[in-house]
């Protein structure tokens, strides 16, 4: 690494860094129009580049956000993306040094959490990231003459005009709020990159909005895809890529509307929460299948004591966790975790784990007993596993629902 330099990018270097990132994903450079909108989401002061002989060969960027943790607290979050190294410079420690510089900056900025979506699951564990949320891709056969029964509650669904999407959807998302562990805020730059850029490129995107007694309280954003139904005809599939509501009832109301659409063979929704029971609203549960179960959010506890102290815990006697963090050694140590709070301690450890396994436990996605059974956590006091399961459990499975 002695002939590489890791530093923050100048404004004039950000597009070249983005091209390096796209190339690492085997994609072509962004068009002028796509770059004009997509470049606004990542502040230059958070964009790192790796340079060799004056040429950019690696990139790691982030933007500021917030994330809800169990109990309802919302913590500052670094949303990490555009991470990549040119294929002719990999396996030389470039990514490691990019991650090291970025994590140091995130900690200095006072953001106790960082998250990302991993292109390959083998990459980020060594930097302290662990899978904290998972999602399932659900495909449901449309009603085909068997309408979904009415659901409890009062509400109606309308389709937005295309010109309303850029103003109405951010407003509704803000109103819905971060009510589930793992949900994150969406700054203006996110909407520019993920929605307005696509609208400017004339992509066909459709949005429906659910309204209840108190106003707009949920939405679904989707595309339609032609699928072969028979040699002599085609049907459409609705592909949902963004759906949120203030309650489960609202989300299921959106599902019911989509499943009743004419000329639609199926509805496919990407990375839905694990506890979203679409099957229960169908006349035939067999019309719903899980097409895929995937990692959704990779989480990094950048400031372990701050993150642990921010969430709430179940009713159980405390456990002492011994945490190891190679990249940020100031996080390493023992923490007594209980329903009354968190504190550093010199007491003997009940459970020992690396910081990436702590991320898997933190939002409530996996219990400590499962992590121990797979070797990701070492129990020094076996009875502590049951206590940790109760302490870290959550009423709802964690889910972000925001891709970046």
For the annotated catalytic residues, the residue numbers are 124, 404
What tokens were used for 10?
Answer: 């100048």
Q: Please indicate if the annotation marks 20 as binding a ligand.
A: no
Query: Cα–Cα distance between 369 and 382 in angstroms, integer?
Result: 9
Q: Please indicate if the annotation marks 96 as binding a ligand.
A: yes
Q: Please indicate if the annotation marks 253 as binding a ligand.
A: no
Q: Please indicate if the annotation marks 93 as binding a ligand.
A: yes
Give SS3 for 133.
strand
Give SS3 for 365.
coil
Q: Please indicate if the annotation marks 211 as binding a ligand.
A: no
Q: Please indicate if the annotation marks 345 as binding a ligand.
A: no
- Answer whether 307's CB lies under 8 Å from 75's CB: yes
Q: Please indicate if the annotation marks 369 as binding a ligand.
A: no
Nearest Cα neighbor of 392 from 373, 376, 371 is 371
Give SS3 for 214.
coil
| CA distances from residue 237 to 178, 227, 234, 339 in whole angstroms, order as listed | 30, 7, 10, 47
**CA dihedral sign of residues 327, 333, 334, 340:** negative
Q: Please indicate if the annotation marks 209 as binding a ligand.
A: no
Query: Cα–Cα distance between 303 and 106 in angstroms, integer?
Result: 9
Query: Cα–Cα distance between 182 and 268 in angstroms, integer?
Result: 22
* Angle (deg, nearest 10), helices 355-362 and 383-392: 50
Q: Please indicate if the annotation marks 91 as binding a ligand.
A: yes
- Answer whether 362's CB lies under 8 Å from 181's CB: no
What dihedral do alpha carbons 67, 69, 75, 81 form, nearest 10°? -40
Q: Please indicate if the annotation marks 355 as binding a ligand.
A: no
Q: Please indicate if the annotation marks 290 as binding a ligand.
A: no
DSSP 192: I
- Answer whether 284's CB lies under 8 Å from 148's CB: no
Give SS3 for 12.
helix
Beta strand 264-272 pairing with 288-301: unpaired
Summarize the annotated binding site as residue ranges: 83-85, 91-96, 119-120
**Which residues contribute to the annotated binding site for acetyl-CoA?**
83-85, 91-96, 119-120
């Amino acid at each position: 690494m002695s002939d590489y330099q890791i530093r923050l990018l100048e404004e004039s270097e950000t597009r070249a860094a983005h091209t390096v990132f796209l190339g690492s994903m085997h994609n072509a450079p962004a068009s002028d129009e796509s770059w004009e909108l997509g470049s606004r989401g990542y502040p230059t002061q958070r964009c790192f580049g790796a340079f060799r002989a004056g040429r950019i060969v690696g990139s790691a960027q982030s933007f500021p956000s917030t994330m809800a943790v169990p109990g309802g607290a919302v913590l500052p979050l670094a949303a990490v993306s555009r991470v990549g190294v040119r294929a002719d410079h990999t396996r030389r420690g470039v990514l490691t040094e990019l991650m090291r510089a970025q994590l140091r900056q995130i900690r200095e900025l006072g953001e106790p959490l960082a998250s990302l979506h991993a292109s390959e699951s083998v990459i980020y564990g060594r930097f302290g990231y662990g899978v904290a949320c998972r999602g399932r891709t659900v495909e449901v056969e449309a009603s085909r003459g068997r309408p979904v029964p009415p659901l409890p509650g009062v509400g109606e669904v309308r389709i937005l005009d295309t010109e309303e999407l850029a103003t109405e959807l951010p407003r509704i998302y803000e109103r819905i709020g971060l009510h589930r562990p793992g949900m994150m805020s969406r700054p203006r730059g996110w909407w520019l990159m993920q929605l307005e850029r696509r609208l400017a490129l004339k992509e066909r995107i459709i949005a429906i909005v659910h309204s209840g007694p108190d106003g707009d309280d949920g939405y679904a954003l989707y595309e339609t895809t032609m699928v072969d139904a028979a040699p002599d005809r085609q049907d459409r599939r609705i592909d949902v890529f963004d759906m949120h509501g203030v309650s489960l009832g609202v989300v299921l109301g959106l599902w019911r509307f989509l499943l009743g659409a004419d000329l639609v063979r199926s509805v496919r929704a990407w990375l839905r929460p694990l506890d979203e029971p679409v099957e229960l609203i169908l006349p035939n549960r067999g019309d719903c299948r899980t097409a895929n179960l995937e990692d959704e959010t990779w989480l990094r506890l950048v400031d372990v004591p701050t993150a642990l102290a921010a969430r709430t815990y179940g009713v159980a006697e405390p456990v002492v966790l011994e945490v190891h963090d190679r990249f940020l050694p100031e996080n390493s140590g023992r923490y007594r975790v209980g329903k009354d709070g968190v504190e550093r301690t010199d007491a003997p450890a009940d459970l020992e784990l690396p910081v990436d396994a702590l991320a898997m436990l933190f939002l409530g996605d996996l219990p400590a007993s499962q992590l121990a059974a797979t070797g990701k956590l070492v129990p020094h006091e076996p009875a502590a596993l049951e206590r940790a399961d109760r302490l870290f459990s959550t009423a709802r499975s964690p889910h972000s629902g925001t891709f970046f």
